[in-house]
Structure formats: structure tokens, C-alpha cells
Structure 1
Amino acid sequence: MSVAEPRRIVLFRHAKADWPQVTDHERPLAERGRKDAAVAGRRLAGTGVPFDLALCSTATRTRETWKLAVHELPQRPKTVYEERVYEASPGELIAVLNETPDDVRNLILVGHNPGIQGLAEVLSGSAEGDARERMTRRGFPAAAFALVSFEGSWKTLEPGVATLLDYWAPSE
């Protein structure tokens, strides 16, 4: 593919987690989280974006979110469980994304707040329609996602180069 073709990234926050007596990394999804993850998957399928790669935090709640959401997609992308996504800052997430091979056009990143929300905000130099206003008003609740687009190679991904195309969050 040409690096001039737009690339799309979905920044997907894990669904609602439970709080049992386990470490933060091992927290599972709550019942509501399991429902919202599937709904988010259907909404992701509705974007029509064919994902080439999914980068997912190794935390239990992100792996469970992705497992439920991916079943709703028309085609399953290659999935890489990346420990650097857990508790990552926006800058650390950009560093991970910069390593993406250029044959990947569309990617989904399944992670945690505040990193995922911060990344959506810092990448989006512009926005279409009311996507930014909706994201600002709603914040980034569990199972929310932002769809951004940029042109160039993954190595050129940096703050302000992307356009926020869409934002979605489950109703509460």
C-alpha cells in the first residue's frame, strides 16, 4: 500500500471492569462490561473499517473486551497482545504505534484510560462534524472508542496529525 493512503486507528477503551480481590492487571469484566463490549463490537463493524491489526493490552479486562467485540466484526484481524499498552501514557502509545509495519492500513488499539482518551485528544488536530464535541461532553467511559485517520507512514504518527472521524460511547 502507498503511505499516501489514509490510515485509520480505533482507540478503544476496555469495557466496564469488576473489582474483585485480584491485582489491577487481572481484573475481569463486569456483567455490564460483557454486554457493552459486544455492543461496541457491533458498532465497530458498522464503521465498515476492515482492521488489519489489533494491538491489545495484556490486562484481563482488555483481552475479554476484545474477545467479545471481535466476534461482531465481519473479519478477524491479526491480534497482538502488547504489554506496553497497559498503563501507557499517550506518548508511550504513540511510540508503540510508530513500530507498526507500513503494510498495516487500519489498526485497533484496545487499552486503558487515561492513556486512550489522552491519545485520542492529542492525535486529533482536527475533527469531522460534532465528533470532538461529543467526545469532550461524554469523556471516555468504559467501552468507548474514537476513530481517527492520518496520512503517512506509522513512523510519522505524532500529536496533531490525525483527524477525529467518529466517536462512540455506550449509553448509560
Structure 2
Amino acid sequence: MSVDTPRRIVLLRHAKADWNEASDHERPLAERGRVDAPVAGRRLAETGIGFDLALCSTAVRTRETWKLAVHALPQRPRTVYEDRLYEASLGELIALVNETSDEVSNLLVIGHNPGMHGLADALAGGAEGEVLSRMNRTGFPTSAFAVLAFNGSWKSVEHGVARLVDFWTPHA
């Protein structure tokens, strides 16, 4: 694949988690999260994006979100459970994206806030219509996702390289 290949990165925040006595990493989904995750999966399927790779945080709530969302996709992408997504800084998230093979055209990242919102905002050098202001106004709630498009190598991903083309939340 050429490094000028059009690529998309979709950033999905985990569904609503329960607040229980477990450690933060072990928090499961709340009832609302178990309802919203499959809805997010159906909406991801409606985008028509065929994901080549999904990077998912190892936290319980992200794994449960992915398990419930992936069933709606027409094809399950290769999934890598990545410890480094949990509590990752913006720089760490960009470094993870930079490690993606150029054989991948469409990447899905299932992670946490403030990282997902921060990464979407940092990468978006432009946006379709009012989608960027809508994303920033809503604050990237649970089960939300952002779709960013760019041309080039994954190694070239940096601030402002992409265009925010879609932003979806389950409770608009």
C-alpha cells in the first residue's frame, strides 16, 4: 500500500462504566453501558468503514464495550488488546498510532477519556461542517466515537494531520 493511501482512524470511548469497589482498571460496564455499546456498534457498521485493526485497552469496561459492539460489524477486524491505551497521555496515544502498519487502512481505537477526546481534537486540523464544535461542546461522552481521515503513513500522524469527518454520541 502506498503511503498516500487514504486512511481512517476511529476513536471509540468505552460505554458507561459502573462505579463499584473494584479498581479503576477492573470496573465493568453499567446497565446503560450494556445498552449503549451495541448501539455504538450498529452506528459504526452504518459508517461503512471496514476496519483492518482494532486496538482495545485492556480495562474491563473497554473489553466489554468491544465485545458488545463488534457483533454489529459485518466483519470482525483483527483485535489487539493494548495495555498502553489505559491511562495513556496524548503523546503516548500518538506514538501507538504511529506504530500501526501501513498495511492497515482503517484503524479503530477503543479507549478512555480524556485520551480519546484529546487525540481527536489534536489530530483534527479541519472538520466537516460543525462536527468539531459539536464534539467539543458535548465533551466526548461514553460510547461516542470520532472518525478522522488523512492521507499518508501512520508514522506521519501528528497534530493537525487529519480531518474530522464524523462524530456520534448515543444520547444526542
| Rounded Cα–Cα distance in structure 2 between residues aligned with 1:43 and 1:145 | 9
Shift of residue 5, structure 1, vs aligned partner: 1.6
Instruction: Within 5 Å, give how 1:16-165 maps onto structure 2.
Output: 16-165=16-165
Question: Is the partner of 2:55 in helix, strand or coil?
Answer: strand
| Rounded Cα–Cα distance in structure 1 between residues aligned with 2:35 and 2:145 | 15
| Rounded Cα–Cα distance in structure 2 between residues aligned with 1:23 and 1:99 | 29
| Rounded Cα–Cα distance in structure 2 between residues aligned with 1:130 and 1:47 | 18
Shift of residue 169, structure 1, vs aligned partner: 0.6
Shift of residue 91, structure 1, vs aligned partner: 1.1
Q: How many residues align?
A: 172
- Residues 55-77 of structure 1 show CA distances to partners (whole Å, capped at 9, x for unaligned) of 00000000000010100000000
2:15 corresponds to 1:15: yes
- Residues 13-58 of structure 1 show CA distances to partners (whole Å, capped at 9, x for unaligned) of 0000001111000000001001100000000000000000000000
> Under a length normalisation based on structure 2, what TM-score does the superposition of the two structures give?
0.98
> Under a length normalisation based on structure 1, what TM-score does the superposition of the two structures give?
0.98
| Rounded Cα–Cα distance in structure 1 between residues aligned with 2:90 and 2:127 | 18
| Rounded Cα–Cα distance in structure 1 between residues aligned with 2:137 and 2:74 | 31
Shift of residue 134, structure 1, vs aligned partner: 1.3
| Rounded Cα–Cα distance in structure 1 between residues aligned with 2:90 and 2:49 | 23
Question: Is the partner of 1:135 in helix, strand or coil?
Answer: helix
Extract unaligned runs of 5+ from structure 2: none
Please tell me the residue identity of whatever aligns with 1:114. P
| Rounded Cα–Cα distance in structure 2 between residues aligned with 1:131 and 1:77 | 26
Please tell me the residue identity of whatever aligns with 2:146. A
Please tell me the residue identity of whatever aligns with 1:143. S
Shift of residue 89, structure 1, vs aligned partner: 1.3
Q: Percent identity?
A: 69
| Rounded Cα–Cα distance in structure 2 between residues aligned with 1:37 and 1:142 | 9
Q: Which residue of 2 aligns with 1:169?
A: 169
| Rounded Cα–Cα distance in structure 2 between residues aligned with 1:118 and 1:133 | 14
Runs of 4+ aligned structure 1 residues displaced above 3 Å come to none
| Rounded Cα–Cα distance in structure 1 between residues aligned with 2:68 and 2:131 | 25
Extract unaligned runs of 5+ from structure 1: none
| Rounded Cα–Cα distance in structure 2 between residues aligned with 1:6 and 1:127 | 16
| Rounded Cα–Cα distance in structure 1 between residues aligned with 2:145 and 2:89 | 17
- Residues 133-157 of structure 1 show CA distances to partners (whole Å, capped at 9, x for unaligned) of 2102211100000000111111100
